[in-house]
Amino acid sequence: MKLFVAGISYKTAPVALREKVAVPPALLACHGCRLKLGAGLDEVVLLSTCNRVEIYGTTPWVNGNVHGILRHLGAGETDYSPYLYVREGAEAVKHLFQVAGGLDSMVVGETEITGQVKNAYQTAQDAKLTGRVLNRLFQTALQIGKEIRTRTNVGRGAVSVGSVAVELAEKVFDKNLAQKTVMIIGAGKMGEACVRHLAKKGTRSVLVSNRSFERAEGLAAEFGGRAIRFDDCLAAMIEADIVVSSTGCPQTILHRADLAQVMPSRRNRPLVLIDIAVPRDIDPDVQAVDNVYLYNIDHLEAIVRENLQSRESEVGRCDEIINERAQELIAKLEAPAVKPSARPTSAAPVWGLCGAARA
């Protein structure tokens, strides 16, 4: 029995190609069955995300063409050979461990991929597409994903502007964002992303102010919040605890005098201002007002870079864990599968060359 992984990812193929073989979660089992039958596999798990499409399989092939396997996903006659990578045996084991641990992700250490790996495996197992080899492989991979995050710092520290905004707000409010009110000035994508991250933390309400009141109403409805006319945003700031500004205006829209007027009406409650606009929306002199905390896009991006560097420095420790666990799993998979009443016999390794050139 030979173990392999064949796939394409953001590292090898543009999105225009990846989307041709991408499989929605609801169709993973159906396409997995198609792969198992069409490609002559004994076991198969299909992993499909926005950044990768990978086929993990075991096969009795002595000489087979793994490069043609993606065509079984209904992708037509496209030749994926220039973009395809193939890992066999121990290298396939290590690859899955790296994927499950977030080490092969676009953002090192991200956690979403672990859940996607778990869903892919669970779907294949429920459809009876897995057996001894892939069950043990994926169960171990999910354990290693947890171990990596427990024993290293590879997943720590915010690595997007939106998540950094949450991190900074939590510092001001002592990690308690529940019952806080968020206000967004301008309805740009980055500002919206910041508010989404903050809303996930259980903020009480969202206020949306934009020059286009219709756009403000649409975004407010999405968050279950309230639209504010642009000319009324300063008055509405009395209610806010966190303000995210991203208007695209050519000049600043908030100044020290504005905040000096607002703060007494707020009884000087702390106010976090997150200015992600370029040119900046908020004049730096607002920091002279007591209990006003201002962060601009450079502050946020500097923290992102620092956190990414910290994560990348942990990759070596993660690799040590992966290599150690891979050797343990290899030994278990190569051990003969013996029934209690049967006499032990020698067994061939569960993997070998799949007859395809490695990428």
Kindly state whether residue 61 falls inside one of the protein's structural domains.
yes
If asked whether residues 17 and 151 sit together in one domain, one would say: yes
If asked whether residues 41 and 124 sit together in one domain, one would say: yes
- pLDDT at position 157 is 74
If asked whether residues 40 and 151 sit together in one domain, one would say: yes
Which secondary structure element, helix H or strand E, spans residue 213, and what is its range?
helix 213-223
If asked whether residues 129 and 35 sit together in one domain, one would say: yes
Of 276, 301, 326, the position where a domain reaches its end is: 301
Kindly state whether residue 248 falls inside one of the protein's structural domains.
yes
For residues 127-136, average pLDDT? 96
pLDDT > 70? residue 254: yes
If asked whether residues 36 and 166 sit together in one domain, one would say: no
CA 322 to chain centre: 20
Longest dimension (CA), the chain: 87
Which secondary structure element, helix H or strand E, spans residue 235, and what is its range?
helix 233-236
Kindly state whether residue 180 falls inside one of the protein's structural domains.
yes
Residue 249 bears catalytic tag:
no
User: What percent of the chain stands above pLDDT 90?
Assistant: 52
If asked whether residues 63 and 177 sit together in one domain, one would say: no
12 three-class SS: coil
**Tokens representing residue 309 in the block:** 């560097």
pLDDT > 50? residue 354: no
If asked whether residues 173 and 274 sit together in one domain, one would say: yes
Tens-place pLDDT, residues 81-117: 889 999 999 999 999 999 999 999 888 888 889 999 9
If asked whether residues 49 and 124 sit together in one domain, one would say: yes
- Environment class of residue 299 by beta-carbon count within 10 Å: exposed (0-12), middle (13-18) or buried (19+)? middle
Q: Which domain holds residue 287?
A: 161-301
Domain count, the chain: 2
If asked whether residues 134 and 101 sit together in one domain, one would say: yes
Inter-axis angle of helices 161-172 and 297-312, nearest 10: 100
Q: Can you give the CATH number for the domain in which 280 is found?
A: 3.40.50.720
Inter-axis angle of helices 112-126 and 132-151, nearest 10: 160
pLDDT > 50? residue 358: no
Do β-strands 2-9 and 52-59 pair in parallel, antiparallel, or remain unpaired? antiparallel
Backbone angles phi, psi at 351, to 5 degrees: -145, 170
Kindly state whether residue 195 falls inside one of the protein's structural domains.
yes
Tens-place pLDDT, residues 299-351: 888 888 888 888 889 999 999 999 999 999 999 988 776 555 544 444 444 44
If asked whether residues 82 and 189 sit together in one domain, one would say: no
Q: Out of 50, 194, 249, 318, pick the active-site residue.
A: 50
Strands (E), the chain: 2-9, 43-48, 52-59, 85-88, 181-185, 205-210, 226-229, 242-245, 271-275, 292-296
Q: 158 vs 111, 154, 315, CA distance in Å?
A: 12, 11, 17
- pLDDT at position 54 is 95
Distant-in-sequence, close-in-space partners of 146: CB < 8 Å, separation ≥ 6 = 114
- pLDDT at position 356 is 38
- Mean per-residue pLDDT of the chain: 86
Split at pLDDT 50, 70, 90, the class of 235 is very high
Q: Can you give the CATH number for the domain in which 108 is found?
A: 3.30.460.30
**Tokens representing residue 1 in the block:** 């029995």
If asked whether residues 136 and 209 sit together in one domain, one would say: no
